Copies of this chain bind each other. A is one copy, B any other.
Amino acid sequence: MTVRVQTQDFDVGFEISQLRTAHKDAGAVVSFVGQVRDVNEGDTVSQLTLEHYPGMTEKALEAIINQAASRWNIFDTLIIHRVGTLQPTDQIVLVAVSSAHRGDAFKACEFIMDYLKTEAPFWKKEVTPTGERWIEAKQTDDDARERWTK
């Protein structure tokens, strides 16, 4: 398990390759890459700033990975999440999961994203033509997480 919270960008190809070849009996790596969208709720976005809670963030992400690992048969998981000021099309987050068979990696990766979105202490503020604004949490993200508790 690897969790990194950092300001610098990351190399998706390198990270997926490392995760993949670390287990020669892994048949599948499923990954999610999030990028800064140039639009949100109909407004042009020119910049995004990510704040987080140092100390808690890593623990929260590790707890989410541990939950996923207890539910599915997965080999390894990587989460990289950026903080600081980003521009549209910048990468925000990478979640990658390796497993013997694809079903486990798909479920674990989506589970981790759904919990990351609702439990990991990150906050986004965006710049639009009318000024800065904090992004509001979405009910659809809570709903996405709740699916896993049924």
Contacts and interface: CB of A to CB of B under 8 A. Distances in A.
Given A16-B12, A16-B13, A17-B12, A32 B37 contact: no
Contacts of A24: 37-39, 88-89
Chain A contact residues, majority secondary structure: mixed
Interface residues of A, number: 37
Interface stretch (A54-62, A66-74, A76-84, A102-110): A102-110
A21 B36 CA distance: 10
A50 B20 CA distance: 20
Interface of A: 11-14, 16-17, 20-21, 24-35, 37-39, 88-89, 91, 100-103, 105-106, 109-110, 113, 140, 144
